[in-house]
């Protein structure tokens, strides 16, 4: 599949064209079991999520706050691995799932495990992109080339401290969208979309040109999503979804998936939009 046909690229471009914002949940794969993860993907699509970041659990998640760290620990303890995550995505696709899915992982597993040489397997399973928060733009070229060859989008990250020249370079190297980190630090703490934050997003918007942007780290309620409407194409929410899915250890997979779906509805409100129905009407060429 070429990047032209890539679900993430098409979703983000459509949101950009329509001038609307979509909700992008982060889900730790295997937290509560991969059967739960599969059901969560189904319910997220039904609820109108624009895409899903599917986190591959890692023992040293440097960008993750305590909630996501504990989710990764639970998932690893349950035996989750990349093969199981890909089987879950493939099963979701086999049953007609069209929700764009990006794997969220770190550079060490990508390079150290040889995954960089097997990115075609991700695309074959139905994965649409990679998010690697510790991949600096200065080292992104070989990963970007391998991802493009496999038909995978590779959004890159920009932070509030990113200097203008580096921001321009990052936007030029990213595919799908540019991930704007809402603040310095790890995930979990609330990000207020105040005047200073809005100015930062607007600065990134100007540097990104026509490239869609997503804002993450600390997005957890409708007011924050509304504040980003017209400034960004994606409001990315992680900790709130991980908490909802875990539900204090609730063993009921359907209840967990329902909580995730309800959170999508709460965050979307009347202003946000899902790209999934359009993708379903116009199937991808495989």
User: In whole angstroms, what separates CA 240 from the centre of its chain?
Assistant: 14
Write down the H helix ranges in 22-135: 34-47, 66-77, 82-94, 107-112, 119-125
**Separation between Cα atoms, residue 102 and residue 175, nearest integer Å:** 12
**Please, what is the Cα angle at 50 between 49 and 55, to 5 degrees?**
80
**Separation between Cα atoms, residue 51 and residue 226, nearest integer Å:** 18
Catalytically active residues, by annotation: 53, 64
CB-based contact 238:53 (threshold 8 Å): yes
How many angstroms separate the Cα of 285 from the Cα of each of 1, 2, 5, 9, 151?
7, 9, 7, 14, 12
CB-based contact 153:147 (threshold 8 Å): yes
Contacts of 283 (CB under 8 A, 6+ apart): none
Task: Provide the Cα torsion 107, 110, 111, 114; round to 10°.
Answer: 170
**Separation between Cα atoms, residue 70 and residue 78, nearest integer Å:** 12
Q: Is 265 helix (H, G, I), strand (E, B) or coil?
A: helix
3-state secondary structure 174-211: CCCCEEEECCCCCCCCCCCCCHHHHHHHHHHHHHHCCC
The neighbour count for residue 76, using CB atoms within 10 Å, is 16
């Amino acid at each position: 599949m070429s990047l032209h046909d890539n679900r993430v690229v098409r979703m983000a471009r459509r949101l950009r064209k329509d001038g609307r914002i979509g909700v992008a949940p982060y889900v730790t794969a295997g937290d509560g079991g991969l059967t739960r993860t599969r059901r969560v993907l189904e319910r997220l699509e039904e609820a109108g999520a624009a895409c899903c970041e599917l986190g591959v659990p890692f023992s040293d998640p440097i960008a993750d706050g305590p909630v996501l760290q504990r989710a990764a620990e639970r998932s690893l303890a349950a035996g989750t691995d990349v093969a199981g995550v890909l089987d879950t995505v493939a099963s979701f696709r086999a049953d007609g799932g069209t929700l764009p899915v990006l794997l969220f992982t770190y550079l060490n597993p990508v390079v150290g495990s040889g995954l960089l040489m097997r990115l075609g397997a991700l695309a074959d399973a139905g994965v649409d992109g990679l998010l690697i928060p510790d991949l600096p733009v200065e080292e992104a070229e070989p990963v970007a080339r391998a991802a493009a060859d496999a038909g995978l989008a590779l959004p890159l990250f920009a932070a509030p401290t990113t200097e203008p020249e580096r921001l321009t370079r990052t936007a030029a190297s990213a595919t799908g969208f540019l991930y704007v980190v809402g603040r310095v630090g790890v995930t979990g703490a609330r990000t207020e979309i105040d005047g200073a934050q809005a100015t930062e997003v607007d600065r990134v918007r100007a540097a990104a040109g026509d490239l869609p942007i997503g804002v993450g780290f600390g997005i957890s309620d409708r007011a924050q999503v509304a504040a980003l409407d017209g400034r960004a194409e994606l409001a990315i929410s992680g900790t709130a979804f991980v908490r909802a899915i875990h539900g204090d250890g609730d063993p009921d997979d359907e209840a967990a998936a329902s909580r995730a779906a309800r959170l999508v509805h709460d965050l979307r409100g009347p202003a946000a939009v899902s790209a999934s129905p359009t993708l379903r009407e116009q199937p991808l060429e495989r």
